[in-house]
Amino acid sequence: MSHHDERTFVMVKPDGVQRNLTGEVITRLEERGLKLVAAKFMQIDEDLAQQHYGEHEDKPFFDDLVEFITSGPVMAMVWEGADATRQVRRMMGATDPAEAAPGTIRGDYGLDLSQNVIHGSDHEDEGANEREIELFFDEDELVDYARADEPWVYEDE
Spatial distance between the Cα atoms of 93 and 21, rounded to a whole number of angstroms: 16
Residue list 24-53, contact with ligand IDP (CB under 6 A): none
Is 89 annotated to bind ligand?
yes
CB of 127 to ligand IDP, least distance (A): 15
Spatial distance between the Cα atoms of 125 and 57, rounded to a whole number of angstroms: 16
Chain CA centroid to CA 106, Å: 12
Cα-based distances in Å from 92 to 53, 63, 95, 119: 18, 23, 8, 8
The only residue of 57, 61, 111, 149 in contact with ligand IDP, by rule CB under 6 A:
61
Strand 118-120 vs strand 35-42: parallel, antiparallel, or unpaired? unpaired
Contact stretch for ligand IDP (CB under 6 A) within 4-12, 38-46, 116-124, 136-144:
116-124
71 binding ligand IDP? (CB under 6 A):
no
Is 61 annotated to bind ligand?
yes
4 is catalytic: no
Total residues binding ligand IDP (CB under 6 A): 8
CB of 119 to ligand IDP, least distance (A): 5
SS3 at position 11 = strand
122 binding ligand IDP? (CB under 6 A):
yes
128 binding ligand IDP? (CB under 6 A):
no
Residue 41 bridge partners (DSSP): 75
Cα-based distances in Å from 63 to 31, 104, 140, 150: 35, 27, 32, 42
65 binding ligand IDP? (CB under 6 A):
yes
Sites of contact with ligand IDP (CB under 6 A) = 61, 65, 95, 113-114, 116, 119, 122
